[in-house]
Structure 1
């Protein structure tokens, strides 16, 4: 190791903790003022249901049938459209929701289904495809600000991996991860989940001016190192570090600081990780982040209800309803809902028939996704399953068509091509948008 490499390593060791966390009171007001602007850039929020939610107990219920289960239907704000009784908040905003009841795929394995729904591609081929979050973030916001273009909140520790990755787009388009903070174990059980990004505080005795000077020194040394050590690995390391440095800026760090929100607001979203994740998503959308994914069931496979389906789904549904309905209400109050598209989905559905342990098993044949917000024609269902819920009888929708519809809703042409390392053009989606779902 030469002297330059030694000095570079020492510098990285001493500056690795350099970050900035500060309040920026004017930023939310600026975002709110910009929201009504017709030229405002669009955003997308993916609500990911890890484990595969049961459509029969949520948005495609079968009352009166043996497969119907224990829950009751309730009326919504749209005549004839009914949801589970545990979706009281969403029922009031049904005019903003488009329920896609004809989803049908071929992957009944958690990891394979997660990859398929995030990329539109079946796993196992020679090419590692980017997630829809990475693809849309790149297409929607090719420029980079202090905040990352793609943020994953509380992603599944079981199914994270390549399904949420940037694939052949490279680390520049990787998701920045938000999770339960290290200090959360010191919080009261009655307090909202302590989500955020760790290590975003300047070390004692280091102010912003000194940090900026250190980072300028790092950049000079890094540029010199890259010029003499050109390689993909070195460039990837530099890209990741630069992305982290941008998040260290006080304006960016403040976006993840939920202590800036009133406690009443935090409690309105729900105290769990999903509700607090929806609040972070709102704060990021206000600041122009194009793609945010929030997971419910991220500490495992929450919706994987092979046993005891009904108590688990009741609990998850109430948590979902509180976080999602509050998110839409707050986005609407800030004039952001018309520029924000929301997609609710998991890796597959669950069997309409109930097994001998009061559970429902994996079922990719006929299930449900929901679209909402900007670009979506709400207040409707698209697709239909038979009276037992076993097969799609009308409006069959495959994953490529769903992703193409999502692209169209956020103003991105799904046929836009990104290039693999072999210069092979790859469309964001090869499907066709479902025109009836689009506003």
Structure 2
């Protein structure tokens, strides 16, 4: 009979062989209330802007005010709607975008703002809430999916680790991490100049042959069978689900979804030779294969200081805007060409905005009082800006919304419904979103 100690040692050895997979929950189960709705094939993409993007130099410009800065604004394809000159491709697709210019929150700290925007809750109290990706994976995912229901590409989680997790939903609903910018070795440039986005834990450790791995897995399965007979729930069952999902993905055809090398060169180049651009291409491939929620991050992983532009704002934002414009615009075109955009809702946001005033270092500082987010794609009535800010950009004039309202609108647009409930570890129902959906931007 294997002792608990020897079992732990073996699991530790297996973790080394599998590559530490147990830290990411891959295979979420279908929520009970959606068990008989397998025909639903809705998807969501979060474009997460690490560091807090400036609204004044992107979606809500102030060209006739001293706060306006260096950039010019351009007319989009939608009458009266204007964007930055550095977002020309998105401007041409403005009919798919709804700019939320009246967003106003109270968290100007990176960590607290990240948690608020990604969970819809203030970071306080004993409850660990799931991020919106985990919450929607819980609602939209399917039990028999060959791929995880939540994939996160290029995340930078140092501001607040809890804001990127599944919270009380457990690791089954956590993200599969690809090309994390906060994990050494998660990405590198290949010979063609494209970033190689590596899936966390999918490859065997060096020196572990396939035959040796098979022996380890056979031994592990035997031990697990005996152990789970006595521990059918809790952490043991969760760990088993995670490991089984990891092994299935390692040995399945679905793993090819993460290999971008078979895409046409012209398309890869159109997306951009950046982590964000190639992450957007990966998002399209994952949507094609039925993944419910994908997030792609742009900020720290693109080099420099990302969207946290306390100094030299305009140089950084021009570069970031080009990355954003190439990746996001190509993603929407690609999805639309394949008949997938109508069933895919997209949200662009960061943890807060930046000050309309330009500081002495030609930068903009943290500013949660009046800023912008953007909704697009399926379920969204595009070609409009909802809400407005004052001439100097310092306050919301009309259409004021909170983080909770933005997430409620997103959840409504995906077809889940903002009144949907999540079940915590104590069996208590908790609303997936506590805000009020903005009906004016819902299709």
TM beyond 0.5:
yes
1:339 maps to which residue?
A: 343
Matches within 5 A, 1:59-138: 59-138=59-138
Deviation at 1:16, TM superposition (A): 5.7
Does 2:190 align with 1:187? yes
CA 1:319–1:222: 2 relative to 1, 3 Å: same
CA 1:293–1:15: 2 relative to 1, 3 Å: closer
1:22 maps to which residue?
A: none
User: Tell me, what secondary structure is at the counterpart of 2:379?
Assistant: coil
- Give the alignment partner of residue 350 of structure 1, picking from 350, 354, 372: 354
User: Tell me, what secondary structure is at the counterpart of 1:294?
Assistant: strand
8 Å contact kept, 2:189–2:196: no
8 Å contact kept, 2:58–2:83: yes
2:378 maps to which residue?
A: 374
* C-alpha distance in 2 between matches for 1:14 and 1:366: 50
Does 2:160 align with 1:149? no
Does 2:419 align with 1:415? yes
Gaps of 5+ in 2: 20-37
Deviation at 1:184, TM superposition (A): 5.3
Does 2:265 align with 1:263? yes
User: Which region of structure 1 is more displaced relative to structure 2, 373-382 or 212-221?
Assistant: 212-221
Matches within 5 A, 1:6-405: 6=6, 9-10=9-10, 13=13, 17=17, 39=39, 41-159=41-159, 161-179=161-179, 182=185, 185=188, 187-188=190-191, 191-197=193-199, 200-201=202-203, 206=210, 215=217, 218-228=220-230, 232-299=234-301, 302-405=306-409
Deviation at 1:146, TM superposition (A): 1.9
8 Å contact kept, 1:278–1:324: yes
* C-alpha distance in 2 between matches for 1:82 and 1:15: 51
Deviations 1:159-207 (A, max 9, x none): 351101000001110111000694855734x511111315645788638
* C-alpha distance in 2 between matches for 1:327 and 1:113: 27
User: Tell me, what secondary structure is at the counterpart of 1:44?
Assistant: strand
* C-alpha distance in 1 between matches for 2:186 and 2:138: 33
CA 1:59–1:185: 2 relative to 1, 3 Å: closer
User: Which region of structure 1 is more displaced relative to structure 2, 8-17 or 284-293?
Assistant: 8-17
* C-alpha distance in 1 between matches for 2:189 and 2:418: 46
Deviation at 1:392, TM superposition (A): 0.5
* C-alpha distance in 2 between matches for 1:283 and 1:348: 30
User: Which region of structure 1 is more displaced relative to structure 2, 101-110 or 223-232?
Assistant: 223-232
* C-alpha distance in 1 between matches for 2:297 and 2:18: 29
User: Tell me, what secondary structure is at the counterpart of 2:195?
Assistant: coil
User: Tell me, what secondary structure is at the counterpart of 1:370?
Assistant: strand
CA 1:363–1:253: 2 relative to 1, 3 Å: same
User: Which region of structure 1 is more displaced relative to structure 2, 154-163 or 331-340?
Assistant: 154-163
2:27 maps to which residue?
A: none
Deviations 1:278-313 (A, max 9, x none): 011111001010000100014385101011111000
* C-alpha distance in 2 between matches for 1:266 and 1:158: 29
CA 1:73–1:10: 2 relative to 1, 3 Å: same
User: Tell me, what secondary structure is at the counterpart of 1:113?
Assistant: helix
Gaps of 5+ in 1: 20-37
* C-alpha distance in 1 between matches for 2:57 and 2:48: 17
* C-alpha distance in 1 between matches for 2:133 and 2:103: 20
- Give the alignment partner of residue 434 of structure 1, picking from 411, 424, 438: 438
CA 1:434–1:183: 2 relative to 1, 3 Å: closer
TM-score by length of 2: 0.88
* C-alpha distance in 1 between matches for 2:272 and 2:187: 16
CA 1:199–1:167: 2 relative to 1, 3 Å: closer
CA 1:151–1:186: 2 relative to 1, 3 Å: closer
CA 1:51–1:15: 2 relative to 1, 3 Å: closer
CA 1:356–1:219: 2 relative to 1, 3 Å: same
TM-score by length of 1: 0.88
